[in-house]
Amino acid sequence: MKWLVLMLTAATTLMAQGEKVRIIAFGAHPDDCDIRAAGTAALWAKMGDAVKFVSVTNGDAGHQTMRGTELAKRRLAEAKESARRLGIEYDVLDNHDGKLLPTLDVREEIIREIRNWKADVVLSPRPNDYHPDHRYTGVLVQDAAYMVVVPDLLPDTPALRKNPVFLYYEDRFQRPNPFSPDIAVDIDDVIDQKVSALDAHVSQFYEWLPWVDGKLAQVPKDHTERKAWLKRTWIPKISPPVRASLVKWYGPQKGNAAKYYEAFEICEYGAQPDEARIRQLFPMLH
């Protein structure tokens, strides 16, 4: 009996090794996915898995001097450059920045993206956030969960046979409930690649976001100094719950040594993975 169990485990592992994971990540703006998941995306891409980032708006309101089509074009080019640096794909949907609503039309755009990518894993923000575009992106992706398997909806785009695993990015919001780091990924090996992905979004990290925060004067002029500054200001420190999750997934030695991470919470509306399935979907967890 024990022998049979071992055989079955070995067969499952072999199957898992041949299977490429397909991941699609949604953000409201062209840079949101990068902030929360660029490191994990780089690790997946290095292992041959297929990653696509999707910005649900075109980012055409995110600047203090540029706007409209000109800004949307610049941000599309920045997103494509970030994707090139990470070894992934990046789509930007043509919805206006700052005006996103959870309509049926946008829900259908998202269902199509998930189906066409044949996603095993879908990432999104939680629907609790300071920015309405972020909140509604969370709602829209939640509303696509399960609907992606219903063939009668959008019959022109073949439905998935299995509901993917839906995961939320980390955020700092406490109400109605704080983020739970169910999965924590050690991104030490790709931290410079993550910083490089953020660095591709020049209009955001060096212009718009510091301007909003009244810190434009602090942005270094030199390119190397800029990247070091990005790393200091945008890469979060490890909280005790995240450390506990890193130790759970990597063991005490590696889990306690990790300096950089990204964390994800399992959404209740997608497939509910057990630990073995999570390790198949996140092959970097070892």
Residues that bind Zn ion (CB under 5 A): 28-29, 32
Q: Minimum Å distance from CB 172 to Zn ion? A: 14
Question: Are the C-beta atoms of residues 196 and 85 closer than 8 Å to each other?
Answer: yes
Other beta carbons within 10 Å of 87: 14
Question: Which residue shows structure tokens 């920015």?
Answer: 131
Cite the beta strand spans of 108-189 per DSSP E. Answer: 121-124, 165-169, 183-186
Give whichever of 78 and 186 is closer to Zn ion, judged by the CB atom: 78
Q: Minimum Å distance from CB 140 to Zn ion? A: 14
Give whichever of 22 and 29 is closer to Zn ion, judged by the CB atom: 29
DSSP state of 112: H
**Tokens representing residue 96 in the block:** 């206006």
First to last CA, the chain: 28
**How far, in Å, CA of 45 to CA of 256, rounded?**
25
Please report how many Cα atoms fall inside a 13 Å half-sphere around the Cα of residue 163, on the Cβ side. 18
Q: Minimum Å distance from CB 137 to Zn ion? A: 8
Q: Which helix (H) or strand (E) holds 265?
A: strand 261-266
Give whichever of 136 and 260 is closer to Zn ion, judged by the CB atom: 136
Question: Are the C-beta atoms of residues 255 and 247 closer than 8 Å to each other?
Answer: yes
Chain residue at closest Cβ approach to Zn ion: 29
Give whichever of 8 and 101 is closer to Zn ion, judged by the CB atom: 101
Give whichever of 34 and 186 is closer to Zn ion, judged by the CB atom: 34
Q: Minimum Å distance from CB 62 to Zn ion? A: 8
Q: Which helix (H) or strand (E) holds 241?
A: helix 240-257
239 φ, ψ to 5°? -85, 160
Integer-rounded Cα Rg, in Å, for the chain is: 19
Q: Minimum Å distance from CB 35 to Zn ion? A: 8
Give whichever of 53 and 250 is closer to Zn ion, judged by the CB atom: 53
Give whichever of 123 and 160 is closer to Zn ion, judged by the CB atom: 123
Q: Minimum Å distance from CB 107 to Zn ion? A: 19
**How far, in Å, CA of 41 to CA of 78, rounded?**
17
Q: Enumerate the β-bridge partners of residue 167.
A: 123, 266
Q: Minimum Å distance from CB 55 to Zn ion? A: 9
